[in-house]
Structure 1
Amino acid sequence: MARPSRAHERRAELVAAARRAVVERGMLGLRLRDVADRAAMSSGSVLYYFPTLADLLREVQREAVDRFCAAREEAVAREPGPRGRLAAMIRSGLPSGPGDELCVLLYELGTVARRDAAYAAEHIRLYERQAGIYTAILEAGAATGAFALTRDAASIARNLVALEDGYGLHIVNAVPAVDAAQARRLLFACAADATGRTPEELAAPERPGGPEDRRGNP
């Protein structure tokens, strides 16, 4: 009887090893040997499953993008209304600190996007998927009267994602310019300006039930 193939399992192990290598060493100067050592495999064995290191790292990036966005979507889905969903989106988009593995991974992989079209395409997918979540929340809030948008939802959404990216990069730096709590406050202030609410209203727990007017009165 033929032995069952372990190819899928081995590929997953290599993705995990490459993920650790990127977080620990960074993309600059990363070698195939670094991944092989963490996977306890030879370099030739790694290339049996992935033709090049770049192919492996693209899979790492794809998996990281999906994992990050799925976590944000799940956080939003737990909230009963647009205001709570907007708050959940803001809270889920920033690194917790310099040691936030997933965010560090995404930032490291994003550095290659300037020179490699495949990495750039995945980086764009990350940006567009997040902007799409924000846009849907903002449009729903405007439709129900929870928000009074100061401009179109897509523009607000794109600005919020760009701010998250910028603040997040500062948070994971060796010497952070802002910490996660400061960045959240700044994002809530920006979102409040764009939705006709106060930062306190956006951050407060949202009660499930009847519709709200734009001032937050039940």
Structure 2
Amino acid sequence: MEMIAERGLDRLTMAALGREVGMSSGHLVYYFKTKDELLLQTLQWSEEQLGAQRRAALARRIPARERLEALVELYLPDGHRDPHWALWLEVWNRSQSGDDEVRARQLELELSWHRDLVALLVEGMAKGEFATVDADRFATRTRALLDGFGTHLVVGLPGVDRPLALSHVRDHFDESLTPGKG
């Protein structure tokens, strides 16, 4: 994951990766067949790690808003060249090629975040912690907001940092989810 983030998939060689992990490039090709498959499996592994953290954060017995903010903290990159997000950038770039299998696998990974966000919104509304919104639509918009800020953070655009992005997201939640507001 770190080598893909550091070099990008196009500049990564199986030989260099093999040296890094103590395997021959032939073994890597045997297990992964292509660099695209290596990328997808690395992304799936990364998302499994984040998914476990996300499920733990969502299972905590704290108000829904605090869990929502914990989910956002996990979603957004830590900053420029965040390895988890570098994988996503590579996959998004490669999904333009038209490979339906790649897009289906990518969609399933993205939908795990979406489903958890929708479930949390529904729970928060049911408990009166959140204003009533269309949970699916709100989750779609929120993920688009997070993806936009996340992309800016991971590529290192000047003027955008993690605290600023988190502040904008909190404002979005305050304006949209505060009961009796709007």
Question: What TM-score does the superposition give when structure 2 sets the normalisation length?
Answer: 0.86
Instruction: Give the Å deviation of 1:99.
Output: 4.3
Report 1:63-142 matches (<5 A).
63-115=45-97, 116-142=99-125
The 5-angstrom pairing of residues 134-213 of structure 1 reads: 134-149=117-132, 151-195=133-177, 197=178
| Distance in 2 (alpha carbons) for counterparts of 1:173 and 1:105 | 12
Structure showing greater relative contact order (alpha-carbon pairs closer than 8 Å, 6 or more residues apart):
2
SS in 1 for 2:54: helix
Gap regions ≥5 residues in structure 2: none
Higher helix share: 2
CA contact (8 A) 1:75 1:92 kept: no
Moved more, 120-129 or 130-139: 120-129
Deviations 1:51-109 (CA, angstroms, capped at 9, x unpaired): 33333222112112222232222222224232222222222221111143222233233
Alpha carbon RMSD of aligned pairs, Å? 2.0
Q: TM-score, normalised by structure 1?
A: 0.73
Farther off after superposition, 164-173 or 55-64: 55-64
Cα deviation, residue 178, structure 1: 1.0
Task: Give yes or no for contact 1:65–1:126 (8 Å, CA) kept in 2.
Answer: yes
Q: Say which is worse superposed, 103-112 or 128-137, in terms of deviation.
A: 103-112
**Sequence identity of aligned pairs in percent?**
30
**What displacement does 1:131 show?**
1.3
Higher-Rg structure is 1
Q: Distance in 1 between matches of 2:72 and 2:162?
A: 11
Runs of 4+ in 1 over 4 A off after TM superposition: none
Mapped partners of 1:121, 1:53: distance in 2: 18
